[in-house]
Every structure is written in C-alpha cells, then in structure tokens.
Structure 1
Amino acid sequence: MRYWAAAKAATGTAEEPYAARTLAEALDAARRRHAGSPEFARVLLRCSFLVDGAPVGTRDHASVQLAEGGTVEVLPPFAGG
C-alpha cells in the first residue's frame, strides 16, 4: 500500500506491504496496524483508491480483488486537484 499526503502523515510511512484478497481486507488490516492513530481512520473516510493503477470509484471495497504483489494507492483529497 502506498500512502500519499495526509494518509502518509497519519501512518508515518510512505508504503507498507499488504496480505489481503480484497481492498476491504487490506484497509481493515491497515486500520488495525495504525489503531494508535485516530487521524488515520478519519483520513481513510475521505480517501480514494487506485488498485494497480485503476480507480476503485464507488465500488464496494469487498468486491475489489487484490493481486499478490499488486499496488494499492491511498489518495486523500488534494488541494486544487
């Protein structure tokens, strides 16, 4: 998982591995890993996600399959963007 802007600040890292089959599972694991950062949970509510370069949009995160070795981009809203 790659974290950008406010998500990166809330986790204290730019990226970390995931071991999940769906985006929902990966995000749940990330929330548990960063449970000490209430800001991370708040930031995630505003984020959009790219999975292997494709926008997730409004799809149910439980339906978004993740590939082993793939990339999840966690993108908070960007000013002017």
Structure 2
Amino acid sequence: MANGTIRYWAAAKEAAGTGEEQVEGSTLADVLESVLARRSGDDRLARVLARSSFLIDDRPVGTRPHSGVEFTDGCTVEVLPPFAGG
C-alpha cells in the first residue's frame, strides 16, 4: 500500500467536507473505495466521483479503468468534477 494525498475541487470539495486528505492504496480504485468507506451512509461524494475526472501527479487518468491506475508513495490525486462555463 502506498500513501499519498487526494485533493478535491469545487463540488467534490463540498461533498467531501474537506479540500484534501491523506489516503492509501495500490490503485486509484483502492483510494476511491477508501475515501467512500470513510463516509459510509453519505452518498454525496460517491455521486460526485462518478461524474469526475482524475489527475494523478498532473497526468490525466482519462478512460482507463481505475483498478489499472497505479497509486505510488507520494502520489497526489486531483478530483475534478464537471465545471460549468469552461
């Protein structure tokens, strides 16, 4: 398991209740599962994550399956919900 940071922007920040938090996992899927498990019973963040794009260390994840996106020590995941007016 690797340790890193997840940063939330716009609607993701509001749904998470924080701008960033420390996470651990081996893949992006692991990281997302762990942040959702911390908020058991509150599905606001899950709804936002389902619509969001992700960057890992400034590199777009794109359409790759999250279970195949490696998460290594010191990684930063940026959660970018859809933005209006862009």
Moved over 6 A (4+): none
Q: Does 1:59 align with 2:64?
A: yes
TM-score after normalising by structure 2: 0.89
Count of aligned residue pairs for this structure pair: 81
The structure that is strand-richer by fraction is: 2
- For 1:54 and 1:34, locate their aligned partners in 2 and report how far apart those are by CA, in whole Å: 27
Structure 2: where are the runs of 5+ without partners? Answer: 1-5
Percent identical across equivalent pairs? 57
Structure 1: where are the runs of 5+ without partners? Answer: none
Is residue 7–residue 74 contact of structure 1 (8 Å, CA) maintained in 2? yes
Decide which of 12, 25, 34 is 1:7's aligned counterpart.
Answer: 12
Q: Does 1:69 align with 2:44?
A: no
The structure that is helix-richer by fraction is: 1
Decide which of 6, 18, 21 is 2:23's aligned counterpart.
Answer: 18
